[in-house]
Chain A
Amino acid sequence: MVEFRLPMLPQPGEVVWSVKINGIDVKLNIESNAILLDVLRDQAGSLGTKRGCDMGTCGCCSVLVDGEPRLSCLTLAAELNGHEITTVEGLANGHHLHPIQKTFTEFGGSQCGFCTPGFLVVSSALLSENNDPTDEEIKTAIEGNLCRCTGFQQIVDSIRAASDIIKENNSIEDSTSAKSNPHPGFMEGG
């Protein structure tokens, strides 16, 4: 005889979810009890938002909601109807990386890279509020994010370097621009 145990929650209803994700209006049917991280990954196509623990302990799933960092694994998606969500995919402007993305590559902020999306969105929020943070402010901003590879030091370096770029208003080159010429001439005295 089949012994069915009741699922933990009553069957959820579907709701219409309309939000802005990375500047684009998105309308989806989601389950009313769906978690934001699941919706982002499975329905909205933001696979850049990572799942490291599902219980608020790693920060890999961080996204910005109206510019504020939020752990998407602890957020009920339905609550965000009408809000603006930014994920790591929304940081770059086309092929112009956000300064924080550029410096994470150049200063060793990213090794395996799994924690990187979380760190990036959180620190981009910090830098848009405060373009000249102290080390303490940087540390406090990323204290909810776990990185097992870098030991954090090069992440802090990267954020500091990004703040320099932002302060000086330097632009970042389009990544599709021409790279090295395989047929160079000869420059004397090199």
Chain B
Amino acid sequence: MSKDKDSKEIQGYRQQPGKLPFSKPGSGGKNSFSKPIDLENIPVSQNGRKDQPWGPHRHDSLISGQVIGRPTALVDSAWKVTGQAQYGDDIRLPNELIGRIVRSPYHYAKILSIDCSDALNLPGVVAVATGIDAKNKFGVLPVTKDEHAMAVDKVRHAGDLIACIAAENENIAREAERLIKIEYEILESIHDIEDGLEDSEYPIHDRGQYHIGNSNIQKRVFQEFGDISSLEKNTVASHRSNWTFAGVNHGFTEPHAVVANWSPDGRLTLYTPQQVPHYVHRSLADVLEIPMHQINVHRTFVGGGFGGKSDPFPHEMCAAILARKSGRPVRITFDREEVFWVNRGRHPSKIEMNLHADSEGRICGIETDALIDGGGFASFGHVTTYYNGVLHTAPYEIGSFHYTGARVWTNKPASGAMRGHGAVNSRCAVEVGLDDLAEKLEVDPITLRLANLLPPHSATITGFRVTSIGMRECLERVKKESGWSEKFRKMPLGKGIGVGCGFFISGSGLPIHWDPNKFPHATVHLKIDMDGGVTIHTGAAEIGQGSDTVVSQSVAEVLGLPLDMIRIRSRESDTSPVDLGSYSSRVTFMNANAAISAAMKIRDELIKAASDITGASLNSLIVGDRRIFDKNDPAIGVSYLEALHKSQEEKGALISSGAYRTPPMGKTHKGAAAGLAPAYSFSAYVAEVSVDIETGKTTVDKVWAAHDCGKALNPLAVKGQIIGSCHMGLGQVLSEEMRYGRSGHLMNPDFLDYKIPSIHEMPEVIPIIVESNDPEGPFGAKEAGEGPLLPILPAVCNAVYDAIGVRTEELPITSEKVFKLVEKKCRLQGISNPLDLKSPRLEFSDLQNTLDKRAQLHSKRDIERRLNSNREEYYNGAIFGLEPTKSPEEIDDNWSVRVIPEENYLLSPRLAGSAWKHIERRNMGD
């Protein structure tokens, strides 16, 4: 159809600029005129003025210029600032009982008997439950269900649950706690992570035929990729280190709390601040032996999660059991100490990191051995064990990769997933190693990195498909903005600067509960009725990161609506489509993608209606601010409400559903799925520190933090995530540590002794957003919640070296540790006053030039690759001369993939590698 403006053929009507043709019932409201084309916010690919240095995106045509990319207040923030947000303990139901949990005082013991009769006789006690009330096991991973609501036969760490009580008030419940008489037989407990590798008389768990020897090894991983045989002969410089990382806790401000209520129709509603309501839903059904449809999981506001509220928890089961027994609602709230008993924080780890470089300054080998301390339960441990290895196979191109990892049970509170899950500690070791390699090769560590990056749209050594990469830009930005070249190895003693990088998954490729039915990872439902407001139903868990906001933004953008016309219902499993929850930085990528596809369906209906009214053709109509109009003549068009009402004819409210599922990807070896993601985020930080040479106290002065999040849908939230990640990472590197005493007891389960940096320890952070425009991400977005945590640890460690020339291999870097290292260095150099130490200096070798040139070449290569949609394949290994378009194991006989050690490896295995000395029971021959 002709779109000629002057043509009198056009049916329908033209809206007079600045005049409302007529008003609609119930419209009203502010902003009565819309500015349909805000060219500044429309990308160049759609004839707008917004630059696209990384090329166009498949969602460009959906950009209406409303909200995406603008700093946006979180949609639920009004509740938070008025004190009306209801967190776990704020759910108060009439007639509620208070629940308390009886916990083990012993690290490891058999329970011989429990006598609850006195407790039950105490006036005011309504119900008591113990392990026999719920014997079914549960756990977040279906392959390692090893938790009970309460101990069934033995307790596995101090603080493990034994019984629970529901009483009229807290005082009575506490009194009843003391009346429960428990007889124990104390077993010999293990606390040292290395002891977990040995056979034991009473392994903490029994995995039946899958048990590894008689040991406490929960999971072991062996991975070898690449050309190991020529590694030795090519290596010219090596870095070797042995790290010890203390365990850290999430330290969210809201202690766990849960309310359970069985309604008169026999259904359970569980109110809980959960990151992953769906897995609680499944576990409750297992434990309570009722079908899932009889349960409504209601996610309350979540006062911080960071991974610490993503397991289904025993206390959630306890509340449901008590409420069932008592016939009344039960509320259980933890005190801070209990939060440390359930823990699920970052694993205490021992990591051996060896890096090798060849004469060309290429990273020809990474050898990692990670032994991680799982505490009493499996939790996410299976995945953590893989992540400690596979998540440092990028962003660099590497010649060979050798990883051995093991997770052992010990009698400590369980470790689990925490922001940067499994990647943080080994990333720190790699990045510090690279700094050391650069020193040995006499080159700038930033140049060394820039000359070894994988290009966009490539495959890592383990076969991960990497799409967009903004690593190079991150490094270049922090280098420039920090004034790196004037500072590195040039600052006075006690002042230092350091760099670190990060790489993280943006959603995990496989859902935890793998379903053969090809269930989507995320689903979003939309409903729009007469009033024009859009209701979003999603199960994505808002935990403060802005998940509700980003989903609302996506829908608002596609439909051309202001955010105040969107309302989101994401709390209850009864009304929300299943979502896998807020973990592995998956929400923005998966949920926003699902939201976009749901909104596109509505958009099509609205455009169709607009075409029916105006007679304009479908392809010439576009969506702008609350109007659908002809892109060639914006005066031809209808308001959003008109189009909506037209499309509601005969059928009422518009509804639609959109879903997201990851594309098939990755290799097929055992464990290949761990670490697979539809996209990856990248980051580079530079930190500047001051070290007091006499006391060893490290102060971080300033951080330049560049993060490639694909596209900042909400720059305010992305910056908030970057700064918040810095804060949490700084805690781990400077002061946070779960300290265990000689008898294995946790000594600091409180915020007085568990030292989270206060505002005075917090440096100025300059957040730098790099937008690499991921082809599959929603509007190009990836993640920003976890990745930004990784680089801060190594950046600070490297800066400390730049300041005083000592390298620590133990976190946190407390004053004592630095002091001792300085003392040792003085002794070695025969210096009595540490102020006489020389600060490290570095003269660059010829290699610097070679690397510089290579980095420049690669920079060109990368830009070409990202803009060219007909690019060829690129497999890790090309930098070493392998054919880039073929998977190396297909073309090179020396290039191998191995996931089980060969016999001769077992003659002298590394620490975690020695886990392979045991034979799995099913292979024991009996």
Contacts and interface: CB of A to CB of B under 8 A. Distances in A.
Contacts of B80: 104-105, 110, 113, 116
Contacts of B564: 179-180
Interface stretch (B56-64, B154-162, B249-257, B376-384): B249-257
B727 interface: yes
Interface stretch (A48-56, A76-84, A163-171): A48-56
A7 B728 CA distance: 40
A112 B533 CA distance: 26
A139 B18 CA distance: 49
Secondary structure class of chain A's binding surface, majority of residues: loop
Contacts of A125: none
A17 interface: no
Interface stretch (B87-95, B345-353, B813-821): B87-95
Interface in B625-649: 625-627, 629, 634-635, 637, 639-642, 644
A50 B253 contact: yes
B304 A148 contact: yes
Contacts, number: 266
B545 A183 contact: no
Interface stretch (B31-39, B652-660, B855-863): B31-39
B246 to A, nearest CB: 18
A179 B92 CA distance: 32
A65 interface: no
Interface in B20-41: 20-21, 23-24, 27-38
A106 interface: yes
Contacts of B751: 52-53, 55, 57-58, 146
Interface string A87-101: 111011000010001
A88 B253 contact: no
A75 interface: no
Interface in B74-100: 74, 76-87, 89-90, 92
Contact of B178 (A5, A51, A87): A5
A32 interface: no
A24 interface: no
A112 B83 contact: no
Most buried by B among A97, A112, A114, A156: A112
B179 A184 contact: no
A61 to B, nearest CB: 11
Nearest to A116: B80
A60 B80 CA distance: 13
A118 to B, nearest CB: 9
A154 B17 contact: no
A130 interface: no
Contact of B28 (A105, A175, A178): A178
Nearest to A182: B532
Contact of B302 (A2, A112, A147): A112
B629 A52 contact: no
Contacts of A46: 83
Most buried by A among B78, B86, B333, B759: B759
A182 B336 contact: no
Contact of B719 (A41, A49, A148, A154): A154
B748 to A, nearest CB: 11
B186 interface: no
A115 interface: yes
A133 interface: no
Contacts of A104: 77, 80-81
Contact of B752 (A5, A55, A88, A148): A55
A51 B83 contact: no
A164 B473 CA distance: 36
A111 B727 contact: no
Given A149-B720, A154-B719, A175-B78, A112 B84 contact: no
A182 B81 contact: no
A181 B34 CA distance: 9
B82 A48 contact: yes
A150 B77 contact: no
A52 B33 CA distance: 47
B306 interface: yes
B717 interface: yes
B723 interface: yes
Contacts of B335: 54
B253 A147 contact: yes
A47 B639 contact: no
A108 B254 contact: no
Contacts of B38: 190
Given A7-B175, A184-B34, A186-B36, A115 B253 contact: yes
Contact of B33 (A111, A112, A187): A187
A190 B35 contact: yes
A111 to B, nearest CB: 4
B15 interface: yes
B756 A148 contact: yes
Given A57-B752, A180-B562, A181-B31, A149 B544 contact: yes
Given A105-B77, A184-B626, A190-B38, A148 B306 contact: yes
Nearest to A152: B759
B34 A182 contact: no
B37 A146 contact: no
Contact of B118 (A2, A47, A150, A183): A2
A178 B30 contact: yes
B724 A54 contact: no
A117 interface: yes
Interface string A18-62: 000000000000000000000001000011111111110110100
A116 B629 CA distance: 43
A154 B74 contact: no
A187 B17 contact: yes
A179 B30 contact: yes
Nearest to A115: B253
Contacts of A53: 336, 750-751
A185 B760 CA distance: 52
B35 to A, nearest CB: 3
The 4 A-B pairs at the shortest CB distance, nearest first, are namely A48-B83, A190-B35, A112-B544, A113-B80
Given A113-B77, A151-B725, A187-B17, 15 more contacts: A48-B82, A52-B254, A53-B750, A105-B73, A105-B80, A114-B544, A146-B758, A148-B252, A148-B304, A151-B723, A181-B27, A181-B626, A184-B640, A185-B19, A186-B635
Interface of B: 15-21, 23-24, 27-38, 73-74, 76-87, 89-90, 92, 118, 121, 171, 175, 178-179, 250-255, 301-306, 333, 335-336, 531-533, 543-546, 561-562, 564-565, 625-627, 629, 634-635, 637, 639-642, 644, 716-717, 719-720, 723-728, 750-752, 756, 758-760, 762, 764-765
26 contacts: A2-B118, A57-B750, A91-B82, A105-B74, A105-B80, A110-B80, A111-B720, A112-B253, A112-B254, A113-B85, A113-B301, A116-B80, A151-B720, A152-B762, A153-B764, A154-B723, A177-B30, A179-B562, A179-B565, A180-B29, A180-B30, A181-B28, A186-B18, A188-B17, A188-B634, A190-B36
